[in-house]
Amino acid sequence: MAANIAYTSTQKFLHWALFGLVIVLYALTYGDSFYPRGDTAVAALWRLHISFGLLLAAFVFWRVVLRAVKGAPGLPAEMPVAEQAAAKIGHFILYALLVAIPILGILLTWFRGDALSFFGLFTVPAPFAPDKATARTIRELHSLCANGILIVAGMHALAALYHHFVRRGTILTRMLPGNR
C-alpha cells in the first residue's frame, strides 16, 4: 500500500468524477428555485438529481471496492504525525459521507413514495409505503450530510493546496491526471 507514490488512473478518474458529481448534485438541488412552484422543469431537475445520485452511488461503490483492493499511496514520512492523523480522519469522513448521502437519497425517494429512475433506463419502485414524517427526517439528514461533504471536501482541497504551494510537497500531484 505505501509503496505506491501516485494513485492509479482509475482512482484518479473516480476522485474527480465524484467531485464533479457532488457539485452537479448540489447545483441541481437549488435549480428549482429558478422556477415557479409546480413548473414541470422542477420535476425534471429532481429526476436528474436522482439519476445523478444513483450514478454517484455506483461510483462510490466502485471507489470503495477499488480502495479495498488497491489501497492508497502512503502519506509522506516527513508529514507530521498530527497531519497524517487529520488526513486519515478526513478521508474516513469523506468516504462515510459519500456512502451515506446516496443511501439517504434512495431512502428519501422511497419514503416519499416515488420510484427510483436512472435516466429513464430502469425504474426501481419503492419497496414500502410512503411515510411523510420519516421522509422529512431523512431529508434533513440527507441535507446535513450534503452540506457536511462540501465543508469536509473544502478542507480537503485547502489541505492539498497548502501542501502543494506552501510545503512544496507532492500530495496534490499524486491525484492529478498524468502523474505517476
What tens digit of pLDDT does each residue of 146-174 get? Answer: 999 999 999 999 999 999 999 998 888 88
Predicted confidence (pLDDT) per residue in 116-148, tens digit = 999 999 999 999 999 999 999 999 999 999 999
What average pLDDT does the segment 78-85 reach?
93
Note whether 98 and 114 are within 8 A (CB): no
Which residues, other chains included, contact 179 with Cβ-Cβ below 8 Å and sequence gap of 6+? 6, 173
Type of residue numbered 62: W
90 and 152 Cβ atoms separated by less than 8 Å: yes
**C-alpha cell read off for 55:** 450514478
Is pLDDT above 80 for 179?
no
Give the residue, 25 or 4, on which the prediction is more confident: 25
Alpha helices in 32-176 (DSSP H): 40-70, 81-111, 132-161
Banded model confidence at residue 2, pLDDT cuts 50, 70, 90: very low
Q: How far is CA 154 from the centre of its chain?
A: 12
pTM: 0.92
